[in-house]
Amino acid sequence: MYNSKIIGLGKYLPDNVVTNDDLSKLMDTTDEWIQERTGIKERRWIEKGSEDSSAVMGAKAARIAIERAGLTKDDIDFIVFATMTPDYYFPGCGVQIQDVLDMGTIGAIDIRNQCSGFVYAISVADQFIKTGMYKNILVIGAEYHSNGLDKSTRGRGVTVIFGDGAGAAVLTREEDNTKGILSTHLHSQGKHADKLIVTSPSIKHWIPEILASKKEDISYFPYMDGTFVFKNAVVRFSEVITEGLIKNNLSKDDIDLFIPHQANLRISQFVQQRFGLSDDQVFNNITKYGNTTAASIIIALTEAWEQGKVKDGDTVVLAAFGSGFTWGSVIIKW
Ligand code: ACO
């Protein structure tokens, strides 16, 4: 069995910055409320008329990651694409990447695990590399939230937290079992699916309903029981990080860098306190980008790496919690 390791990282954020004050012109909200509850100051939303989408942004991030890995598109054996906002109901974004990047006929899958999407995606890629089936895998997380949000006061509890963006990582085979991705830990609890959900469109509520005007139907917009999700998030984050540390005989003191899914700065701060981590040990960028769901960890990891905060030999912990509920962690020896 091999290990896998990350050798290239890339990110792409749309240029259009939407501040909290911009949102207060669309709905009854304030910069003060949003910052106090979430830490978010601004987010990126794709501008109307832009060519960007989850697949397009994912391709842009992927090109950077492949180049930084010192590889070419022809070296990639497989694509894993995590998103909850695919360009089409089907096919998924993975095959769009395969086409746009002209990658022969390699396999591509989509992962539909919301905020835990990138953690699940990296775990899937890791298993393929461990068994020796593939050597180099492109893993992408990308979200185009802004087009599907309720921008009236009715949707304010959800809409203010989400942003658009994409990140990508190239994973390759590592023969030294003490390096690279040491372990991944995945969980779910479907009984809470209705606490954070979009119920339409779906195969149950499909084209005829979409074609009819449904502006008054809130089922077309994300619903979230925010307090319930918050309480579960802080518990599950802590559990799944501890699970990863125990599996690798590590303690919280061994963590050089913790990159939580960027759902809410208050959640990250709670987990930071719970593990007694210093500000230097935790990387957050939610203030700038909001919650980009499957893209958030990979955008944050890329940004941390670009700032020189990820060094050889570091123990890096990634953890996420989101709709499903699903949650997971990744323990990496960089
Ligand atoms: N501006 C002003 N007021 C608002 C806004 C807003 N944007 N949104 C809600 N309010 C009001 C509500 O109407 C409510 O008013 P009321 O008391 O008069 O009824 C009050 O503020 C409190 O609302 P809550 O929803 O209870 O606010 P809360 O303190 O829980 O914060 C938040 C909301 C930030 C969303 C928080 O619950 C949270 O972060 N939850 C977890 C998010 C998360 O981790 N999601 C998982 C990942 S996402 C994914 O997987 C897709």
pLDDT at residue 175, rounded to an integer: 96
- Helix ranges (DSSP H) in 69-191: 93-100, 117-130, 156-159
Same domain, 278 and 304: yes
Q: How far is the CA of 30 from the centre of ligand 1 (A)?
A: 13
> What token pair was written down for 197?
């959900």
pLDDT of residue 205 exceeding 70: no
Q: Which atom of ligand 1 is nearest to the CA of 162?
A: 48
State the burial class of residue 50 (Cβ atoms within 10 Å of its Cβ: 0-12, 13-18, 19+): middle
pLDDT of residue 246 exceeding 70: yes
pLDDT of residue 203 exceeding 80: no
DSSP 47-89: PTT-S--HHHHHHHHHHHHHHHTT--GGG--EEEEE-SS-SSS
Q: Of the listed 20, 115, 232, 264, which one is catalytic?
A: 115
Same domain, 149 and 213: no
Measured from the CB, is residue 161 less than 6 Å from ligand 1?
A: yes
pLDDT of residue 65 exceeding 80: yes
pLDDT at residue 211, rounded to an integer: 62
Same domain, 201 and 153: no
Between CA 323 and CA 194 the distance in angstroms is 9
The DSSP output letter for 162 is: B
For this structure, is 115 an active site residue?
yes
Q: Which atom of ligand 1 is nearest to the CA of 158?
A: 35
Residue ending a domain, choose from 178, 200, 218: 178
pLDDT at residue 212, rounded to an integer: 66
Reference 258, options 187, 311, 319, 328; nearest CA is 319
Least reliable range by pLDDT among 114-128, 170-184, 192-206: 192-206
Tens of pLDDT, residues 284-315: 999 999 999 999 999 999 999 999 999 999 99
Measured from the CB, is residue 229 less than 6 Å from ligand 1?
A: yes
DSSP 260-305: E--S-HHHHHHHHHHTT--GGGB---HHHH-B-GGGHHHHHHHHHH
Question: Stretch 120-127: mean pLDDT, rounded?
Answer: 98
Same domain, 38 and 159: yes
For this structure, is 3 an active site residue?
no
C-alpha radius of gyration, the chain, whole number: 19
Domain count of the chain?
2
* CB neighbour list of residue 79: distance below 8 Å, 6 or more residues apart: 94, 97, 98, 103, 106, 107, 108, 109, 137, 138, 139, 140
Measured from the CB, is residue 267 less than 6 Å from ligand 1?
A: yes
Same domain, 160 and 246: no
Same domain, 279 and 308: yes
Tens of pLDDT, residues 80-97: 999 999 998 889 999 999
Question: Stretch 37-64: mean pLDDT, rounded?
Answer: 97
Asked whether 322 and 297 are in contact (CB, 8 A), the reply is no
pLDDT at residue 207, rounded to an integer: 62
Q: How far is the CA of 157 from the centre of ligand 1 (A)?
A: 4
| Nearest CA residue ID for atom 21, ligand 1 | 157
pLDDT band of residue 218 (cuts 50, 70, 90) is confident
For this structure, is 93 an active site residue?
no
Tens of pLDDT, residues 172-197: 999 999 999 999 999 999 999 999 99
CATH number at residue 215: 3.40.47.10
pLDDT of residue 163 exceeding 90: yes
pLDDT of residue 214 exceeding 80: no
Tens of pLDDT, residues 142-161: 999 999 899 999 999 999 99
Asked whether 129 and 113 are in contact (CB, 8 A), the reply is no
Between CA 295 and CA 201 the distance in angstroms is 22
pLDDT at residue 109, rounded to an integer: 97
Q: How far is the CA of 224 from the centre of ligand 1 (A)?
A: 8
- What's the domain range around 130? 3-178
Tell me the average pLDDT of the chain: 95
| Nearest CA residue ID for atom 15, ligand 1 | 157
pLDDT of residue 165 exceeding 90: yes
Residue ending a domain, choose from 126, 156, 178: 178
Between CA 247 and CA 104 the distance in angstroms is 38
Same domain, 116 and 195: no
Q: Of the listed 261, 264, 284, 285, which one is catalytic?
A: 261
Residue ending a domain, choose from 136, 156, 178: 178
Lookup result for tokens 């010192």? 70
The DSSP output letter for 46 is: P
Same domain, 296 and 159: no
pLDDT at residue 219, rounded to an integer: 76
